[in-house]
Structure 1
Amino acid sequence: MTVPPTLRRAALAAALSLAALPALVHAAPSPMLDASHPVNWWFAFKFNAASFPGCGGSAQVDSCQFGGSPQDYTSGNGFSQQFVYASSSQPSLSQGGGCVGDTTTDPVGATFKQIYNGTLNYVVWNDQFYGDPAIPSCSGASCGAPWGHSKGVLAWDNQGNGVVMQVSTPSWPASGSAQYPRGSDGNTLGCVQDNDVKVSQHFFALKLSHADTLAVLQGLANASVVTDPGNPQIVKNGGPADIQNAVSQLGQQSDSSTPQVSKLSSGVTLIAKPSALQVPPWQLVSAELGGVPLRAATWWEGSKSIAIPSTSRAGAPACWDSSLPTPGPVAIATSGSWAGRSFSLKGGMGYNFNHAKIGVSTGNGTAYAIFGDMNQEGALSGNCASAQNGRGGLFFALPNATLASSIAKLIGGSTAAAAR
């Protein structure tokens, strides 16, 4: 029997529609390794200017694809946009090329482009916007306690599927859409007035389901992150009603003193510390992960009284809440190495310091790689509201032995002395 041409065309159209279904599935927001490679998660560590200056190879910051112009950071001892990264498709760290954040071929730039040049809903938050955008509810160029010490961008589609990118960079990002560009500064790494690429920084991106997106939004509210739902430069609210309602609760200081601990669909544990829970941040993470011992690298200045020392054994410090589990020991990494080159993991204003907040579990059991907002600064005893003890923030604990081992080597140098 001869099939009429109209039926053949209809059958072909149906077949093509079915073939396109996987592409539709992949159209949900995802972390991107480059313009065409979505993954479930990636992590990137940007080096400081002393250890790996400039960009990889002969690359230079020139595109400023999200706004701004290349900056002359020479008066601030230069810059670094060299980086190492890992992902769900390759969980061991490897060195990237070019200038991280300034291209469509690096994870940070490719993932942010999906948001900035797309049609997704978004929330951008940062306690150091430096006045652009201005945040009416906090005074000054940056927002101190009890606002959360937290930075990042969350984006989602109309079904609520999303991607979150945690960053440690002041003044970036500060706009979520090319339709609402930053007015007085750039919005691209290497193209903002603040030299936030002088010291080490970290970036972590994770794919989210609808339920995950809602959990992250609730965590942001619990941590009192700095944003403004009424400003389209940093918030575009849309999608499912429950997500829209959660977005509307942001930009306020939470009175919660209870941490939010959520297991996401990826297996990642999200921990949101509220400002009113005045405990050492990384001890809280250890406690909520079952008392596992940790090694963490954060903005840690040993010369300051707020620098929390390493702890050598399990046990609750004096600055603790009786409702919490008991934390394990927390070691403070003060140096690391890559490709035979050592670098400092201490905090400070020079070009040889670290502003990333990363850690790993070091005991038996589940191996976690941990990405946080918060420095290990505050107090184990005494003034329990000191520094980061009195602020909020998020932590993402990713169970992956290969990644945890790779990060452990990266931050496996010297260790701050223990208090007990």
Structure 2
Amino acid sequence: MARAFVLQPVYVRDPSGLRSERGALDEAVGLAAAISIEVVEAEIIRLAQRRPATLFGTGKVDEIKARLEAAGDIGLVIVNGTLTPVQHRNLEKAWNAKVLDRTALILEIFGERAQTREGVLQVALAHLTYQRSRLVRSWTHLERQRGGAGFLGGPGERQIEADRRVLAGKIDRLKAQLEEVRRTRTLQRAKRSKAPQPVVALVGYTNAGKSTLFNRLTGAEVMSADLLFATLDPTMRKVDLPSGTRVILSDTVGFISDLPTTLVAAFRATLEEVLEADVILHVRDVAHEETDAQRADVLSVLGELGVHDEDGRRVIEVWNKADLLPSADRDVLSSTARTRADDARGTLEDPIPVLASALTGEGLDTLFAEIERLLTAEHRTRSVALPPGEGAALSWLHERTDVVSAETTDDGGVVVTVRLGAKESGQFQERFGYAFATAEEAHRGRKRA
């Protein structure tokens, strides 16, 4: 197990925002724990200015060097911020230790967790894009590099000019492979758009409990643990709501503050599943002291992906981990959620709140009810006149809509009255060629026939 120092730079001239200094440091320690790095020391370092050469002042660099030498077996320093290639190189020289900034650490976690071919490709592209900008640090002239795409193993093996050509070629090949993945996903989404089941996508900050909720709702066994980025690859399952309505539930990678732009770009194909969702479940850890800051980070990433309120997509905010709250706080939040749910517009900025616990199952009945209410809010009661022999069309309506009545006509046909949405209406007409109308119009049409 690697042993490390974790440093949290804080710039005294910058506004603190929603996130506390201690919260940011604790998150960095959690990121290190996610790949089994033992954190020996964790420290907040306040900076009056960013030093171009080393970020930290000379005195602080020398102090950390002395502490590393005294410890003896610390070969890694994690800086929870962004380092330039020059700062990276100079700090590694000064401390004689491997240095990871926030982006490199997150990439290291993603590289360890990716399981599917798509996930591996996305992580590899993000790694190479990151490395290309800092060959000065990662691939020292004529030194040797360990296998793999990570940063913990050592510097590079070739001259920098040759490395640039090698990296460019690898990046082009990965982009081509990912473009093929994107085309496949586009075809899959097109097929799902023609399928009757609506899509419900889970999004949220990493470790908010999305995978635990996904498992609870679907009976699946997606990896869930008290770790940042416990799961990485997207998963989809069919779920039957209590009324019998079937939906497709999609679990996505967790978001995090200052998510590296290389990762946002690489994982755009995966996260685009959210763009196709009929309902978004934004899972929040309401027991976390920085839950508001985490919410803001998730909304920021969704905005980057092109998810906006004007799209008409409905949003439920799942206030998860209620079981970790003191009883008094839980009662207050429960009352608040019920009050707000009555008037909420169901948008990103004004979502429908549901207090729940994915671990214990508390509040999930309410969650199911809200999902169903949103999916059926625009359903209308319509009728269609079917001639004799249209058993397949009648069966389709029984399977995919809420059939109110079915009246047999004198000629052996049937007038079916159902509750359904525009999506199902369009699918039915495209497949069978019959249009919906009011009950009176359907009966008149049957008589004329």
TM-score between both structures, scaled by the size of structure 1: 0.29
Calculate the TM-score normalised by the size of structure 2.
0.27
Q: 1 or 2, which has the higher helix percentage?
A: 2
Larger Cα-atom Rg: 2
